[in-house]
Amino acid sequence: MKKATAAGWALLPVLVLMLGGPASGKDVAAVTLPRGARIGVVNLLDAEVTHFHGSTDIKASFLKTQHVDWPVDSMLNEAVKQRLTQMGVEQVPVVPSEGLVRGRQEWFIDNAVTKNLPKQCAIELTQMAAKEHLDALLVLAPGLNDNAHATYTRRKDLPDYVRGWGFATTAGARPEVFNMTEMLLISTRGGIALLRDVSWGGAVTALPWSNFSADPTTKEMPAEELEKLKPIYLDVLGRQAGRLLDHVEVIGAP
C-alpha cells in the first residue's frame, strides 16, 4: 500500500473542514478494501459494570456502578480477531488519542452518532488514521439508554442515563445483561474519516445471565460474580462487530 508523504498527511484535517464533514453512514455503499488493508481497533469504553435493581418498593431499587479489572481493549481485539483474519485484513490495535478521549462525552454520549461524525471528531480520527496508516477503523464507545441512541430498543425499565455494560435484576427473576454501547465503522481511505455504519449494542436484547448465583439485592457484587459476565460480553462484542463487518467487502487475491 502506497503511503502518503508527511506533507500530504498534514493537509488531512484541512480537507475534512473543506468538505464539511463525512457523509451519512446510511447513504454510503459497502466499504471496499483491498486484501491486507489495515483496520484499526479503538476502545473508548471504561472497564465498569452497572447493576440496576428494580423493585415495587421504590426505596429498594438502586443503581450501582462498579469498576471491573477487565482489559476491555484486549477483549475487543480478541472478539474481532478471527473475523478480521478470515477477511484477509490486518488488525491494528490503536490507543485512542488524548483528543478522542477528551471528546468522548461530547461526541459519543451527549451526541448520538447516527448519520455524521461531529466535525472535530472526524478530524481527530483522520489524524489517528494517518499516523497509523489505516484504511478503516472500528471504534467502541459508550452510549445512553435514550431515544436518540437506542431508538426502538430503548429499555423502558432502565433510566435513560444508563450507559455502557451492566445487568438488571428483579426479585424472583434471572438477571438480564444489557449493552448500552455503540460500535462505529469508519472508512479512512482517501484521507478523510467517513462514518459508514453504526452497530448499537442494545439491539442484542434479552441476554440472560444463566450462571448468576448472588443475591440480586446485593449492592456491591463480588468480583468473582462479575467475572462471569466477561464471556457474555466477548460474545456480544463479536456479534456487534460482525454486523458492521458484514458491510465490508475485501477484494484481491489471497
Cβ(94)–Cβ(42) under 8 Å?
A: yes
pLDDT band at 188, cuts 50/70/90? very high
Residues of the chain with pLDDT > 90, as a percent, come to: 72
Distance in angstroms (rounded) separating the CA atoms of residues 230 and 167: 12
Residue from 185, 240, 182, 251 nearest 207 by CA:
240
Q: What is the pTM of this model?
A: 0.86
Task: For residue 128, count other CB atoms closer than 10 A to its CB.
Answer: 23
- Residues 199-204, mean pLDDT to the nearest whole number: 84
- Residues 141-164, mean pLDDT to the nearest whole number: 92
CA 186 to chain centre: 12
Phi, psi of 76, rounded to the nearest 5 degrees = -65, -45
pLDDT reported for residue 114:
85
C-alpha cell at 78: 480478541
Cβ(51)–Cβ(169) under 8 Å?
A: yes
- Please check the confidence at residue 60 and state whether its pLDDT lies above 90: no
